[in-house]
Chains A and B, each alone.
Chain A
Amino acid sequence: MALPSYATPVQRTYYYAYLFFCAVVFFFLIAPLFAIIPISFSVSPFMVFTEGMLAWPPDPEAWSLRWYKNMIGDCSADVVSSTVPCSTKWMKGTVNSFYIGTIATVIATALGTLAALGLSRPHMPYKGLIMAILISPMIVPLIITAAGMFFFYARINLVYTFTGVILAHVALATPFVVITVTATLVGFDMNMVKAAQSLGAKPIRTFFKVIMPLILPGIISGALFAFITSFDEVVVVMFMASIDQLTIPKQMWAGIRQEISPVILCMATCLVLLSIFLLTTVELLRRRSEKLRGIKAR
């Protein structure tokens, strides 16, 4: 939407002011994420840009990988400092996060896909109500869901167990799968199911041979959403997890509250890279899905 050639100077001014404003907002959105990356390579134990880092030509003394080494549990003398003790918690948190995230994703994806399939049938009774209940964990503030789950799980002795945390994450992640898969099912030709069944396929075989290959992009991006939900989740973990179920977000939370150390920024940098990777994957999947369903790429 370039400016027409007959625009008046006033219009031009408005137009450039508008573009400038948008640029500022984009900067506001993205700058904090990239500000932390250089600091994570700093040698100083404080989360600031040191003078050496800003100097020109760059001072190699000011940059180091020491906090990354600290993060992966390397405890040699040049890695720890008086304010940043060596800790194995980050690695433990990473293992737990992937463990909880993976199991929760598998369960949530299976449940969510089934729910979405059921909900897209044309004659499903109480469709709106079921959809509203399924989506509610997305809308209700996490703190309420977490408090409610804590009370409920306390009654059935699931608090402070892996099972409890995983189940809670399944409940939080399923709506994302339902939404993405439902979106993929729009425009899915139900005649293909009928065709498969009239050729003698049983429902399960129909699902795996006909439905699933076609909606696979939706299922995968739903699964990625589910994974990131579980992977990022901190409130439920804070309430329901003991030290055994330490995850990355919980360790980051503890890190920010107690010892503000650059190790947090190293982990944050890794997470930013992870989210760039996930974002790219989802975007590619979305395009592929639109191609598969014959919707012209917008």
Chain B
Amino acid sequence: MTGHDVVFVLVGLLTAGGAVLTVTSKNLMHAALFFAVTLGGIAGVFLPLAADFLALVQIVVYVGAVAVLFMFGLMLTRAPIGREALDGQNRGLAMAVAGGLFVVLSTLVIGAFGDLPTAEVTGPRIDDLGIAIFADWVLPFEVLSMLLLAALIGAIVLARRETGESGEELTVTRIEMAQDRDPDALEREQAALTSGSGGDGEEHA
């Protein structure tokens, strides 16, 4: 057992602990935080495997962006601030799915790679990695980035659907702010909305 193994096991335990706590904690924000610990732990697992570039990418993308966006979204929408809990009540089903997946995946992985010989790990130099991605594998790289771009545009289209031009107009509930305003203004605005010409800038009073 080398020092690498010790670090690997310790970080692995931390990651697994974070993962268990992610699904068992009753508070949604705590779950998101433990999820961040898990993602950071995965970066730590990459380090003793000599994949330091991958570890840093994991931190930037998953801890610095995905976990932060999770928390941002929770805070923006329905996070109970302070100590209140928000629980999905799907514990049994989730446990069954996760356990089933674990059995299937571990059987597959052990069946496929179980008898391979082990080797000393050495990572590639970063310039070799860069040449590999941007010279030898540039076409798959570009195709992947196009896929991501399509997903990005799709997400924007979906998110804008309720008020934007891309979907059906919703009937907007107006908050009546000033009774002494021009009484015809309300009708004119409603007519403009229902005729379908209204953009997203017209629904507020």
Bind each other = no
Binding site for B on A (CB under 8 A): none
Binding site for A on B (CB under 8 A): none
